[in-house]
Amino acid sequence: MHEFSFAYNIFKVAEATAIKHNAKKITEVHLEIGELTLIVPELLKRSFEMATSGSIAEGAELIIEQLPGTIKCRDCGKSSSVTLSEEAHLTGLQLFQCKHCQSKNTEIIDGKKANIKNIKIQE
């Protein structure tokens, strides 16, 4: 389960930050997730609840901000923003077409990253 291991990693980072600041509780975790990571926000929220149950992050609100994907065309050199199709969600295959020249000779330059933007703690 992709989302659960990811949620667990977020929790470990948040926990380490809280311990470093002698916090008693984590109240909010703000995440940025690229559209092309294939992470489903609803599943991630549920996984985060499970991963933090009984910990100092129990009940913390997970705020997820999704960032659009960007591809660059190897033929015309222009960038396009893309979203995942249903098909890509099902197959995990990510092939994107340039919006300027319709070429499929493209590479993903953004949208595959996920990072913690901000953590709110209570001291």
**What is the contact surface with Zn ion in residues (CB under 5 A)?**
73, 75-76, 98, 100-101, 103
Min dist. Cβ of residue 67 to Zn ion (A)? 22
Q: Which of 14, 52, 7 is nearest to 33 (CA)?
A: 7
Sign of CA dihedral 12, 13, 14, 20: positive
**Which lies closer to Zn ion via its Cβ, residue 66 or residue 80?**
80
Q: Which residues make Cβ contacts (< 8 Å) with residue 20, sequence separation at least 6?
A: none
Min dist. Cβ of residue 94 to Zn ion (A)? 17
**Which lies closer to Zn ion via its Cβ, residue 74 or residue 117?**
74
**Which lies closer to Zn ion via its Cβ, residue 17 or residue 79?**
79
Q: Which of 63, 67, 65, 57 is nearest to 29 (CA)?
A: 63
**Which lies closer to Zn ion via its Cβ, residue 61 or residue 75?**
75
Min dist. Cβ of residue 82 to Zn ion (A)? 12
What residues pair up with 115 in beta bridges, in sequence order?
32
Q: Pairing state of beta strands 114-122 and 25-34?
A: antiparallel
Min dist. Cβ of residue 80 to Zn ion (A)? 8
